[in-house]
Amino acid sequence: MRKLNNILQLGIKELRSLYRDPALLLLILYAFTLSIYSQANSVPESPHRASIGVLDEDRSQLSTRIVGGFQLPYFIKPAAIDLETMDSGMDAGRYTFTLNIPPQFQQDLLAGRQPTIQLNVDATQVSQAFTGAGHIQQIINDEVGEFLRRFRGANAVPVEAVVRMQYNPNLVQSWFGSVNAIVSQITMLSIILTGAALIREREHGTIEHLLVMPVTPFEIMSAKVWSMGLVVLAATALSMRIIIEGWLAVPIPGSVLLFLGGVALHLFATTSMGIFFGTVTRSMPQLGLLIILVLLPLQILSGGTTPRESMPEIVQNIMLIAPTTHFVELSQAILYRGAGLETVWQPFLALALIGTVLFFLSLARFRKTIGQMA
């Protein structure tokens, strides 16, 4: 009972220390609000108000229909340009796309020939270039096909594939991006907060006070783990409700409570990892550099941005010991597909085992180095 009381009181002390640190409070606020919103909308699934210049040398009914196909919100009104401004406009960054419809384009098409249209793309505008080029090609193909058929409609094909988009029917990027963002922020903040709490003890000299108190390293570490984990868990719950379900209007088919249970297990592992980093480094800059070196591979190789099946087998096997791999798996299963505990019990169990191993490894390191921190 005394141990529990010590852990509780030390944890409350950590919460008070965090409350008096405006930089970390601002980081938590930004990470679970604006950062999630910006990451959710950073890669558009279609062009949005892209600038396009059109050189119409045909000036036929068909070319007019093609130009008229570029409409808001995908494209702003196409600008009429000439050969000289086609190159200079792209050089100056005024146009992301320029289109050159050659003379006698409609006549050649009706005669059975295969005329070409030149499309220039400013590939420095990465977010617009790749999706926009395909969008423009689709508009041209649709208008040409409808013109040749003399009516608006679809060709009858012998076999038609009926496509049903599961879990994200409209292919909205923000649905996928926001959930991936909150998974990344949970991992990053939990490591930073616990590591910073230990560094703060060293820098403020309060570690000496702890050494003369009747508390054990286990109690000190457990207090930091539960207090910083609680902060991130509360921020996650609020962000899920206010930012993801409210501001971004992302439907969550699964149980948010089950997801938060997975978050708690993941925090057990990552906060322990943060303690370990705090014992290895001696200052905040060193901690930041170490976190960057570790966090980037964890995020990239855990399956959040690229499916694990696309990675080399050796990388897949190595990443099985990382908590983020199992956390991404259960997060996607619960939040995207509405999975229950009967489906995600394996990543839950893996997180519990990995967290336990990391906790005792960090505790052993903490016991060994706590005397050197004073």
pLDDT in tens, 52-105: 999 888 888 888 888 888 888 788 888 888 888 888 888 888 888 899 999 988
- In CATH, what number is assigned to the domain containing residue 125? 3.40.1710.10
Residues 308 and 196 in one domain: yes
Going 357 to 359 to 361 to 363, the CA torsion angle's sign is negative
Would you give the distance in Å from CA 134 to the centre of its chain?
24
Global pTM?
0.76
Residues 248 and 142 in one domain: no
**Number of structural domains in the chain:** 2
Pick from 149, 180, 208: which residue ends a domain?
Answer: 149
Residues 145 and 222 in one domain: no
Span 312-358, pLDDT tens digits: 889 888 888 999 999 998 988 888 888 888 888 999 999 999 999 99
Q: Is residue 166 part of a domain?
A: no
- Enumerate residues 6+ apart whose C-beta is below 8 A from 318: none
Residues 205 and 314 in one domain: yes
Contact 340, 258 (CB under 8 A): yes
Query: Range of 215's domain?
Result: 2-42+172-373
Radius of gyration, alpha carbons of the chain: 28
Residues 68 and 15 in one domain: no
**Which 3 state secondary structure label does DSSP give 372?**
helix
Contact 45, 92 (CB under 8 A): no
Residues 225 and 123 in one domain: no
Q: Is residue 213 part of a domain?
A: yes
